[in-house]
């Protein structure tokens, strides 16, 4: 399954000669590397997240005190990182499915990558605003 | 004397014995795509509600969870998300382990650890959703 993008990554790509780089292929490979890293990171977070949510079976106070750490500036910033990672993984997952199932998918894999990067940025900007607003106001006293 | 084309046997690949072939990897490939499709709604919706809308994480506490899980709709949402995300992620990590583990024993034990963690997370998460008690004492 991991190869589905790699095999199509060359299509539409120009032949390049850049001596000295680790990999001389298409940016399609980097989209696959990012898909793998974001998938594994999300999986690790899910493990922690189910454990912390399970504290609702211990007591309201225990749960609330752990959830309060999620509201601190540093962890809040990491949540934005999680949202960014999951959003990329989801968008690129759609792209992988289109490459696999859409008859023109392999041909358009490269423009589809640019499209998802644009969507990713456009969605992340307002998300970052709403997620960080509270802590930014608290720190800078707006 | 020349050989006419019709005298040559048609080229063909050798047959593989059918009994030794398993479709597991095909189904697992398909599952990644089908679960991914459903997870787009479940996970992105979850992140939007919990982190972005209406104050995001700053309004989450025990009472907030109790309010949501009083509705069978959100109970089912969270249960489906738990199972699909954990199975999707476990199957994805199985591929990653297969790609990078070099020794057969390393590969075996990493996968056992992975499967054990998946069973723990699915069992614990389901238990919490099914037995949640809004009136639990502090
Ligand atoms: C939000 C919706 C999601 C979509 C659309 C999606 C889509 C996909 C697809 C299509 C693949 C297969 C890629 C391939 O065969 O090359 C994949 C792999 C993977 N996904 Fe997801 N996924 C989603 C959510 C998640 C979540 C929540 C997790 C973590 C629990 C996760 C973890 C993984 C992992 C670890 C892989 C394996 C990566 C690899 O083999 O390189 N995904 N995803």
**Where do the domains of chain B lie?**
26-131
Closest approach of B54 to chain A, Cα-based (Å): 9
**Residue A63 class from Cβ within 10 Å (0-12 exposed, 13-18 middle, 19+ buried)?**
buried
- Of A13, A71, A74, residue with least CA distance to A5: A13
Q: Which residues contact B130 (CB under 8 A, 6 or more apart)?
A: none
In a domain, A12, yes or no: no
In this complex, which of B28, B36, B58 lies closest to A71 when CB atoms are compared? Answer: B58
Would you say residue A102 has pLDDT above 70? yes
In a domain, A4, yes or no: no
Do the Cβ atoms of A28 and A113 come closer than 8 Å?
A: yes
In a domain, A9, yes or no: no
Q: Could you report the per-residue pLDDT of B69-113, keeping only the tens digit for each?
A: 999 999 999 999 999 999 999 999 999 999 999 999 999 999 999
Count how many pairs of residues, chain A against chain B, have C-beta atoms within 8 Å: 108
Ligand 1 midpoint to CA A41 (Å): 11
Q: Considering only CA atoms, which residue is closest to atom 4 of ligand 1?
A: B36
The enclosing domain of A105 has a CATH number of 1.20.1300.10
In a domain, A105, yes or no: yes
In a domain, A52, yes or no: yes
Q: How far apart are the first and last CA of chain B?
A: 99
CATH placement of domain B26-131: 1.20.1300.10
Range of the domain at A33: 24-140
Six-digit token string for A11 = 């299509």
Rg of chain B on CA atoms, in Å: 25
Domain count, chain A: 1
pTM summary value: 0.86
In a domain, A118, yes or no: yes
- What is the distance of C-alpha B118 from the center of its chain? 10
CA distance A73 to A70: 8
In a domain, A44, yes or no: yes
- A86 with B85: Cβ contact below 8 A: no
CA distance A23 to B42: 36
ipTM surpasses 0.90 = no
Residues of A in contact with B125 (CB under 8 A): 50, 53-54
């Amino acid at each position: 399954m991991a190869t589905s993008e790699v095999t199509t990554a060359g299509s539409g790509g120009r032949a390049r000669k850049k001596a000295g780089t680790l990999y001389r292929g298409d940016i399609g490979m980097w989209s696959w590397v990012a898909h793998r890293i974001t998938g594994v990171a999300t999986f690790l977070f899910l493990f922690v997240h189910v454990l912390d949510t399970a504290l609702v079976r211990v007591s309201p106070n225990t749960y609330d005190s752990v959830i309060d750490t999620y509201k601190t500036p540093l962890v809040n910033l990491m949540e934005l990182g999680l949202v960014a990672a999951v959003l990329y993984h989801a968008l690129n997952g759609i792209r992988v499915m289109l490459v696999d199932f859409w008859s023109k998918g392999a041909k358009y894999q490269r423009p589809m990558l640019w499209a998802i990067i644009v969507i990713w940025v456009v969605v992340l900007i307002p998300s970052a605003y709403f997620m960080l607003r509270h802590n930014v106001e608290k720190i800078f006293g707006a | 004397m020349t050989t006419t084309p019709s005298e040559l046997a048609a080229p063909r690949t050798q047959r593989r014995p059918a009994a030794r072939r398993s479709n597991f990897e095909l189904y697992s490939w398909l599952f990644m795509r089908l679960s991914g499709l459903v997870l787009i709604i479940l996970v992105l919706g979850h992140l939007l509600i919990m982190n972005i809308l209406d104050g995001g994480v700053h309004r989450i506490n025990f009472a907030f969870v109790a309010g949501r899980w009083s509705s069978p709709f959100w109970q089912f949402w969270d249960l489906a998300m738990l199972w699909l995300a954990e199975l999707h992620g476990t199957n994805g990590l199985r591929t990653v382990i297969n790609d990078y583990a070099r020794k057969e024993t390393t590969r075996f034990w990493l996968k056992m650890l992975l499967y054990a963690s998946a069973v723990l997370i699915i069992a614990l998460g389901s238990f919490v959703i099914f037995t949640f008690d809004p009136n639990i004492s502090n």
